[in-house]
Amino acid sequence: MSRPSATGICVLSIDVVSGDAGTADLCLRLAAADVPATWSIASSPCDELCAALRQQPGNEVALLAGGWAAEPSDRRTFSRSLTSSLADLRSAGYYPTTIALPIGRLATHDDLLAKHDICVARVSQRRQQPKARGWWPRLRSTPESTAVANLRWGLWEAAVTVDLRDAGLRGVAKTVDRLTGRGGSAIVVAPSDVLASDARATSKLIGHLARRREEQALRVTTLAGIAGDFRAARPATAARSILRPAA
């Protein structure tokens, strides 16, 4: 993760509300600016959106979860819903390693997420974190840790920094600049229909991100990309997995 100390990280996490032509066009505009995004989808996308997603190799397709993934979801409901949702996306050729939870705190069935190779859970509300042990305090002091916390080895919780619905496009740009200007991280969540409904304003936001990246003021990546950074930073002494399946 070698980069200038003043360079921050920005993730554009888009919740796909409707896989229509407007969403596909939004995807193509991001691809034209070489701006990758994490696209959270609840079910298999339409052919038009699938084609648009392939235009930007850096894109990530995540699972957009429902209420079944939030506390106090029971283990059986969580397991069945997770399995069926992932099977639907996998049938379309997508193998998500990120799950996006729009509302609430993530239910505490972490071993089930690990079983399905989920590495990141994007949330709007954090869990109460237990006291860190071992090398995790050092990991949490990295720039990414302003938005990301470890739940267990191989699984990270990424908290939304700014929501487009609350801040507006101008507010998002200001928040990104403020956080990344200090070498921090910004996880921006935006519904696809809001972005697609105002092409002019969205183009300004895309241009802003692309310009700040060219200035080396920030790195635009995905939630899977951040998880990859953490895996690369894993010390050799942590080679043994600490995952423990629930009884």
All domains of the chain in start order, with CATH? 8-238 (3.20.20.370)
Quick one: pLDDT at residue 140? 38
Distance CA 188, CA 205 (A): 12
- Using DSSP's 3-state secondary structure scheme, residue 109 falls into coil
Residues in the chain with pLDDT < 70? 1-6, 128-146, 234-247
What pLDDT shows up at residue 234? 64
Most distant CA pair in the chain, distance: 53
pLDDT for the residue numbered 122? 97
pLDDT digits (tens, 9 = 90+) for 155-179: 999 999 999 999 998 899 999 999 8
188 — phi, psi (to 5°)? -100, 125
The pLDDT value given to residue 238:
41
Alpha helices in 92-198 (DSSP H): 110-115, 136-140, 164-180, 192-197
pLDDT confidence of residue 152? 87
Q: What is the pLDDT of residue 158?
A: 95
Q: How far is CA 83 from the centre of its chain?
A: 20
- Per-residue model confidence (pLDDT) at position 5: 45
Say if residue 165 is exposed, middle or buried (CB neighbours under 10 Å; 0-12, 13-18, 19+).
Answer: exposed
SS3 category, 146: helix
- Sequence-distant (6+) residues with CB within 8 A of 200 are none
> How deeply is 44 buried, as exposed, middle or buried, from its count of CB atoms within 10 A (0-12, 13-18, 19+)?
middle
pLDDT at residue 135, rounded to an integer? 40
pLDDT reported for residue 2: 41
Residues 105, 125 contacting (CB under 8 angstroms): yes
Is the separation of the CB atoms in 221 and 98 below 8 Å? no
The rounded distance, in Å, linking the Cα atoms of 30 and 35 is 5
Q: Encode burial over 74-93: b for 16+ CB neighbours within 10 A, e otherwise.
A: eeeebbebbeebbeebeeee
pLDDT of residue 240: 38
